Amino acid sequence: MNVFLQSVISGILVGGVYALIGIGLTIIFGVMRVINFAHGDLLMLGMYATWLVFSRLGIDPFVSVAITGPLLFLWGAFLQKTLINRVLNALPQNQILLTIGLGLIMSNSIMLMFTSDYRILTTTYSSSSFSLGGISISEPLLVAFLITAVITAALYWFLLRTDTGQAIRATAQDRDAAQLMGINVQAMSVLAFGIGSALAGVAGALISPTYYIFPQVGSTFTLKAFVIVVLGGMGSVIGATLGGLIIGVTESLSAVYIASGLKELVVFVLFLGLLLFKPSGLLGKTRA
């Protein structure tokens, strides 16, 4: 029972970060109907930015979120404005290929700059944990989870309570109608892509004390983000939040009860089953 509780809790802690990655992807999809295959690579950029700031300037990864977030926001907004925007009406497969290409460019540029060596960001608390009722809780993961919770709450507030947030949601709901209502859908797209990549970058910063940092780390997270987003229903922010937690717990349980090398395999099998039997996701509406 203790082992079970233990793995559920660590799954939830990791799942919080997964949720952040998924929310970013789902906002981008919701507003632009573009599946961003470079999402994991944006996260990888966040990891490298965190690592650089930490190793050169000694800024703590959890503090540097305040740097990586805005940085990735600008980068994402730039990508949207210069490249992604041009394929909004193109074939979906061309959009997918464009983002795959962008991902390749990002990961391989980083590889040329920093080699493909695995980097470890060792903080004083990287492997520290404390015990709560017989269940050990990893400190960096807990802090990451708390920051995630704060950011997610702020994001919900932004999307639900502010005018800009409502404009973003309106654009996601019906692009043409939103435009007729006087919403600048171009600006909303740029904003959405910026927010999406900022969230990916922040997630990268938050996991950098506990993960290996290497240029190809992105693809795993891209795929994971898809699973999360499809699980929750494409375009649904609440769905992505739930999806992230579910995937976190699933991974953690299958690592304990099946085999740690197979945890991702289990997730993909689950994903395929979901695609086949409920492609609209747990909270998604039926596809148009």
Partner 1 sequence: MDRRPLLSRAPRGFSVLGLVLFVAAIAALAAFPSFVKKPYVLHMGVVLFLAIIQGQAWNVIGGYAGQYSVGHAAFFGIGAYVTMMLLELNKTAPWVGIWAAIAAAVLLSLVIGSITFRLRGPYFVLASISVTEIIRLAALHFKDFTRGAEGFLVTEIPTLKIGATEIEFFTKRPFYFAALGLAVVTIIANWAVQHSKLGYYFQAIREDQDAAHSLGINPAFYKNVALAISAAFTAAAGGFYAMFVKFIDPNTVFGLDVSVQFVLICIIGGIGTILGPVIGAMVLVPLSEILRNPKGLVQLGIVSSDSGFVRFIEANLSNAHMLVYGILVVVVILFAPEGVLGVIRRLATRLRRRTPSRGRTEPAATA
Q: Is 98 in the site for partner 1 (CB under 8 A)?
A: yes
Strand partners, 129: 138
Binders of partner 1 among residues 198 to 237 (CB under 8 A) are: 219, 223, 226-227, 230
Q: Which stretch binds partner 1 (CB under 8 A): 133-141, 154-162, 201-209, 271-279?
A: 271-279
3-class DSSP assignment, residue 131: strand
**What is the closest distance, in whole angstroms, from the C-beta atom of residue 35 to partner 1 in the complex?**
5
**What is the closest distance, in whole angstroms, from the C-beta atom of residue 224 to partner 1 in the complex?**
10
Per CB under 8 A, the list member of 100, 135, 143, 256 interacting with partner 1 is 100
**What is the closest distance, in whole angstroms, from the C-beta atom of residue 109 to partner 1 in the complex?**
6
Question: Is the CB of residue 6 less than 8 Å from the CB of residue 136?
Answer: yes
Per CB under 8 A, the list member of 1, 57, 180, 276 interacting with partner 1 is 276
182 burial via Cβ count (<10 Å: 0-12, 13-18, 19+): exposed
What span, in angstroms and rounded, lies between the C-alpha atoms of 141 and 281?
27
Per CB under 8 A, the list member of 27, 45, 102, 185 interacting with partner 1 is 102
- Cα torsion for 16, 108, 73, 281, to the nearest 10°? -40
Per CB under 8 A, the list member of 63, 154, 160, 269 interacting with partner 1 is 269
What span, in angstroms and rounded, lies between the C-alpha atoms of 200 and 212?
16
Nearest to 267 by CA among 204, 223, 212, 233: 223
Q: Which stretch binds partner 1 (CB under 8 A): 129-137, 177-185, 206-214, 257-265?
A: 257-265
**Residues 6 or more apart from 91 whose CB is under 8 A from it?**
none
Q: Is 94 in the site for partner 1 (CB under 8 A)?
A: yes
Q: Which stretch binds partner 1 (CB under 8 A): 129-137, 141-149, 191-199, 274-282?
A: 274-282
Per CB under 8 A, the list member of 2, 89, 131, 286 interacting with partner 1 is 89
**What is the closest distance, in whole angstroms, from the C-beta atom of residue 171 to partner 1 in the complex?**
18
Per CB under 8 A, the list member of 103, 201, 204, 243 interacting with partner 1 is 103
**What is the closest distance, in whole angstroms, from the C-beta atom of residue 186 to partner 1 in the complex?**
17
Output the CA torsion sign for 94, 231, 44, 167.
positive
Of 97 and 142, the one with the shorter C-beta distance to partner 1 is: 97
Question: Is the CB of residue 252 less than 8 Å from the CB of residue 20?
Answer: no
- With vertex at residue 10, the alpha carbon angle to CA 6 and CA 16, rounded to the nearest 5 degrees, is 150
Burial profile 14-23: b = 16 or more Cβ within 10 angstroms, e = fewer = bbbbbbbbbb
Report the interface residues with partner 1, using CB under 8 A.
35, 83, 86-87, 89-94, 96-98, 100-105, 107-109, 111-112, 116, 219, 223, 226-227, 230, 259, 261-262, 264-265, 268-269, 271-272, 275-276, 279
